[in-house]
Amino acid sequence: MRYFAAAAVLGLSGCATVRTPEPTAVSHGALVVQAKVRGALIPFLSDLPDRAVVEQLDADGVPVPGKIAVSSLGRGGRMYVLDMPPGRYALSSFSFPARGSRYEVVLSSAVMRKAVVELRPGTIAFLGSLLLDGRYPDFDVAVERALTVAGHWLTPFLSRPVIPRDADLRGHDLGPMAEQTVLFDSRRDLAGTQWQLAVENRLRELGAPEPAATAGGLRNREIPLKEERYFSWRDTLKWGEPARSPTGLAWKQPDGEARAAVFFTSAGASGFAGYDEAVRQMREAADDLEDPAAVYAVRVGTRTGLGARMTSRRYKEGTLVGSEEAVSLTETVLVAYPTGMFTARLRAPREAFPKVLPAFREFLLQLVLGPPVKAPPPQEAVLPF
The pLDDT-based confidence of 323 (bands split at 50, 70, 90) is low
The pLDDT-based confidence of 90 (bands split at 50, 70, 90) is very high
Tell whether the model's pLDDT for residue 382 goes beyond 90: no
Task: Report the chain's mean pLDDT, rounded to a whole number.
Answer: 83
Distance from C-alpha of 55 to C-alpha of 66, rounded to nearest angstrom:
8
The pLDDT, as a whole number, for residue 212 is 83
Q: Which CATH class is domain 225-369?
A: alpha beta
Q: What is the mean pLDDT of residues 110-119?
A: 82
The pLDDT, as a whole number, for residue 1 is 42
For the chain, give the percent of residues with pLDDT over 70: 77
The pLDDT, as a whole number, for residue 39 is 80
> Do the beta carbons of residue 305 and residue 335 sit within 8 Å?
yes
The contacts found for 247-253 with CB under 8 angstroms, 24 or more apart, are 248/343, 253/348, 253/356
The pLDDT-based confidence of 74 (bands split at 50, 70, 90) is very high
Q: What is the mean pLDDT of residues 237-244?
A: 95
Question: What is the Rg, in whole angstroms, of the alpha carbon atoms belonging to the chain?
Answer: 27
From 148, 146, 141, select the one nearest 166 (Cα to Cα): 141
> Do the beta carbons of residue 136 and residue 128 sit within 8 Å?
no
> Do the beta carbons of residue 237 and residue 213 sit within 8 Å?
no
Q: Number of H helices and number of E strands within the chain?
A: 7, 22
Q: What is the mean pLDDT of residues 88-111?
A: 86
Tell whether the model's pLDDT for residue 16 goes beyond 60: no
Q: What angle do CA 334, 185, 63 make, to 5 degrees?
A: 110
Residue 363: phi, psi to the nearest 5? -60, -45
Distance from C-alpha of 16 to C-alpha of 94, rounded to nearest angstrom:
12
Tell whether the model's pLDDT for residue 148 goes beyond 70: no
DSSP 223-241: PPEEE-SSEEEE--S---S
For the chain, the residue count is 385
The pLDDT, as a whole number, for residue 211 is 84
Tell whether the model's pLDDT for residue 292 goes beyond 70: no
Q: Fill in the amino acid letter for 229.
A: R
Q: What is the mean pLDDT of residues 76-94?
A: 95
Per DSSP, the three-state class of 70 is: strand
Tell whether the model's pLDDT for residue 11 goes beyond 50: no
Residue 115: phi, psi to the nearest 5? -100, 15
Could you report how far apart the first and last alpha carbons of the chain are, in Å? 71
Cβ neighbour number for residue 348 with a 10 Å cutoff: 22
From 167, 183, 202, select the one nearest 49 (Cα to Cα): 167
Distance from C-alpha of 88 to C-alpha of 385, rounded to nearest angstrom:
56
Domain ranges of the chain: 2-206, 225-369
Residue 315, CB-side half-sphere exposure with 13 Å CA sphere = 8
Cβ neighbour number for residue 157 with a 10 Å cutoff: 5
Helix 195-206, helix 176-189: angle, nearest 10: 150
β-pairing, 231-234 with 368-369? Answer: antiparallel
Tell whether the model's pLDDT for residue 327 goes beyond 60: yes
